[in-house]
């Protein structure tokens, strides 16, 4: 028996309103509230989940829901979650254009030190033009975006690993002179860093600078190729990178019951919010077929799995067979969904030997 579970379980937390489905069908629209987040975090910890993971939003997507428009900034959110839990890991999500890397390194070192090594960092290069225009910030074009993010992560890791006062860095994007951070992070060599890059430049960034690759496979079957690509890129530069898939779960007692819940979400889909979301990605909703648009509304971009506990477990087991190291889960009803997953799916994962 191994001492480390073969697959990590994370919860994609509802720190933003209407996470993750773009739909007015929401049993508990108050899930974004702080105490509700605490309740879900403590349940996840009690059920053996490994980490909590937030979205980062600065304004909503409009429409009837104003999708994710009410939200908690993720460093203050992480500090609160760490204070109200004992064991589970907690991530913060940063947008590169918004936070200076020195500030991220300082705040992150403090959170990791105070929590005894339970904090991690999700670095997002930035994509939502509307948010950054609101702040008067420029976002680099896609080709150069990952150049900046590479330097961003190098600055953070340098500040976390060099003796205080000895780190220097000079690039077009950042200049650090005798960088000093103390206390240093508790985690060695530094807290885990994750990125969701999927373009050629993004995957190279993950392979060379990050510890985890955040993925949204279009299907269970497609996950193997995505995992293999990232791990081969990392191996070529002498590194190991682990992969985690974001999954949106609808777990029913029967396949029919799960499908009915899916249809309820789609019948009340917020198409205006979706159109605005895609526009932020410089995409036109008219360029997608109706099925793809439905999947965006259903899961907010995560891989949707709809079925019984047995079929959900088998999908996760198959992803693990294909090399996936973790899954990051979201639900329509977070508390009930986390509870059902823990009681009815985790035992099947344990039986299969992957927990």
> What does residue 342 show for φ and ψ, rounded to 5 degrees?
-65, -40
Q: What is the pLDDT of residue 244?
A: 98
Structure tokens at 273: 């919010």
For 208-253, the pLDDT digits (tens) are 999 999 999 999 999 999 999 999 999 999 999 999 999 999 999 9
Q: What is the pLDDT of residue 1?
A: 35
Q: What is the pLDDT of residue 62?
A: 95
Mutual orientation of helices 101-114 and 142-161 as an angle, nearest 10°?
Answer: 50
Mean pLDDT of the chain: 94
For 148-198, the pLDDT digits (tens) are 999 999 999 999 999 999 999 999 999 999 999 999 999 999 999 999 999
Determine the Cα–Cα distance for residues 262 and 249; give it in Å rounded to an integer. 10
Q: C-alpha distances in angstroms, 301 versus 91, 151, 246?
A: 19, 27, 8
The pTM of this model reads 0.94
For 97-144, the pLDDT digits (tens) are 999 999 999 999 999 999 999 999 999 998 788 888 899 988 878 778
Nearest to 246 by CA among 4, 5, 11, 68: 11
Q: Where are the domains of the chain?
A: 8-351
For 333-345, the pLDDT digits (tens) are 999 999 999 999 9
Nearest to 132 by CA among 102, 103, 98, 104: 98
| The CATH fold of domain 8-351 | TIM Barrel (3.20.20)
- Count of CB atoms within 10 A of residue 98's CB? 17
pLDDT surpassing 70 at residue 287 = no
Q: Which helix (H) or strand (E) holds 330?
A: strand 326-331
């Amino acid at each position: 028996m191994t001492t480390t579970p073969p697959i990590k379980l994370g919860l994609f937390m509802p720190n933003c309103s209407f996470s993750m489905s773009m739909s007015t069908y929401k049993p508990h629209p108050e899930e974004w509230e702080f105490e509700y987040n605490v309740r879900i975090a403590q349940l996840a910890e009690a059920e053996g989940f490994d980490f909590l993971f937030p979205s980062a939003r600065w304004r909503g997507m409009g429409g009837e829901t104003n999708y994710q428009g009410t939200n908690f900034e993720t460093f203050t959110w992480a500090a609160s979650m760490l204070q109200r839990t004992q064991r589970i890991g907690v991530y913060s999500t940063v947008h590169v254009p918004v936070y200076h890397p020195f500030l991220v390194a300082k705040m992150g070192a403090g959170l990791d030190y105070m929590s005894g090594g339970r904090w991690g960092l999700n670095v997002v290069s930035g994509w939502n033009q509307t948010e950054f225009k609101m702040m008067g910030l420029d976002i680099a074009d896609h080709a150069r975006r990952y150049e900046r993010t590479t330097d961003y992560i190098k600055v953070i890791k340098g500040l976390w690993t060099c003796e205080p006062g000895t780190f220097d860095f000079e690039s077009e994007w950042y200049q650090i002179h005798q960088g000093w951070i103390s206390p240093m992070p508790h985690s060695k060599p530094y807290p885990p860093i994750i990125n969701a890059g999927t373009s050629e430049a993004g995957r190279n960034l993950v392979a060379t600078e990050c510890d985890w690759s955040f993925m949204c496979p279009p299907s269970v079957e497609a996950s193997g190729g995505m995992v293999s690509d990232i791990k081969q890129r990392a191996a070529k530069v002498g590194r190991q990178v682990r992969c985690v898939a974001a999954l949106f779960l609808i777990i029913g007692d029967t396949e029919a019951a799960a499908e009915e819940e899916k249809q309820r979400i789609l019948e009340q889909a917020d198409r205006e919010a979706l159109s605005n979301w895609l526009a932020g990605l410089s995409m036109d909703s008219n360029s997608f077929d109706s099925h793809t648009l439905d999947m965006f509304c259903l899961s907010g971009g995560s891989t949707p799995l709809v079925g019984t506990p047995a079929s959900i477990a088998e999908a996760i087991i198959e992803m693990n067979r294909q090399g996936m190291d973790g899954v990051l889960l979201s639900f329509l009803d977070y508390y009930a969904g986390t509870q059902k997953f823990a009681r009815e799916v985790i035992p099947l994962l344990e039986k299969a030997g992957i927990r």
